[in-house]
A and B are shown apart, each in its own frame.
Chain A
């Protein structure tokens, strides 16, 4: 079964410093991977997705992620954190074996940004 593991439940950064949210995946196939963000009392928003094209994926709001097959990782980064980045972030893999559209979510990483 395909799965993702988010290595940190909470990450705290200061505004203007880099952000690193870590994710490892497990997949028998070439995976499709995503990062979603969830702000309080809001729905999930897609930040970026990897679908076997370029290994460095650029998303919205200055976020990017790099697919590293040798490390089975898909870490999310941003050069400079903004207060508005404070939210819950989910690493997600698409379960391709099912034949239908099923996303498997990690447990989430809460990003805290201090002034």
Chain B
């Protein structure tokens, strides 16, 4: 069974550029969440999408945006990149939108370096 897949795995951008990261959830999962993991820290919640609608947003600026497509895949966009946006961006999928018992299945991440 295919797990959560993310692309690209690594990328390098310069300050001020824009980046798009992609995520395909596990088949049958309708919820996709995005997390940012800065080196040496735990992941921080960015967004959750369910059935193509934003269900939750973390404490991130408006430069961060996302969307979910009819096939439940998702894109995370970051505009006007800053050095501090350098991080591992993790995508996770699950079968449900809310509650607290559903397991999140994580991809291996996209490592973004901003120079």
Contacts and interface: CB of A to CB of B under 8 A. Distances in A.
Interface residues of A, number: 25
A105 B42 contact: yes
Interface in A20-47: 32, 36, 41-46
A51 B101 contact: yes
A98 B101 contact: no
Contacts of A46: 103-105
Given A43-B106, A101-B31, A101-B48, A32 B43 contact: no
Nearest to B42: A105
A23 to B, nearest CB: 12
Given A43-B90, A105-B43, A108-B42, A100 B56 contact: yes
B97 interface: yes
Interface string B71-107: 0000000000000000000101010111111111111
A42 B108 contact: yes
B21 interface: no
B108 A99 contact: no
A80 B45 CA distance: 33
A49 B45 contact: no
A55 to B, nearest CB: 16
B42 A98 contact: no
Given A44-B90, A46-B103, A106 B42 contact: yes
B98 A90 contact: no
Interface string A97-113: 01111111111100000
Contact of A100 (B42, B48, B105, B106): B48
A44 B31 contact: no
Interface string B4-48: 100000000000000000000000000101010000111111001
Interface of B: 3-4, 31, 33, 35, 40-45, 48, 50, 55-56, 58, 90, 92, 94, 96-109
